Amino acid sequence: MTINRENQSLDTLTNDQNEIDYVREVELVIASLAEDQKAMVGHSEAGHVWKFEYGSVQVFVQLTGTTEEDTLMVWSPVLKLPAKNEGDLMRRLLEMNWSSTLESRFGIANNEVVVVASRSISDLSPSELSRAITIVATIADDNDEELQAEFGQ
């Protein structure tokens, strides 16, 4: 490795040349996680959405754009609703949100229990992006079958 020791301002060192290609980073992470290296991607005015298989779950990744105001959202459905013993299910999910979901959480979307993580892409590093996708995929895969067995209809 060669280090250029010219005196450069901080602005020069942190300019747009160091911008992260978030689309490329998402695709690299998905390529490392996806079963059979298969993933689907869609693009619209709402941004990019990817879908891939990880273990026994489907994982979705949405990137609304590449400005600091845009967001990264990762989610994976784990249980269709309605469910048996929904009160017990909700208690379990809240307890798991407290103790074992790291930066993700359980939620409800489109009549399904999902594992979700979301954040602004402002100051989002490639390692944080990778961690968000990996955590959602892993927590969903680790819990879907147990939740379905206990609470599924």
- Residues 88, 151 contacting (CB under 8 angstroms): yes
| pLDDT of amino acid 38 | 84
Interacting residues of 148 by C-beta distance below 8 A, sequence separation 6+: 78, 79
pLDDT at 37: 75
**pLDDT score at 35:** 78
**Residue 65 in 3-state DSSP?**
coil
Q: Which two tokens stand for residue 76?
A: 């994976």
Let me know: does 92 contact 113? Beta carbons within 8 Å: no
Residues in the chain where the model's pLDDT stays below 50: 1, 13, 15-16
Beta carbons of 109 and 116 less than 8 angstroms apart: yes
Write the single-letter amino acid at 144: D
pLDDT of residue 3: 52
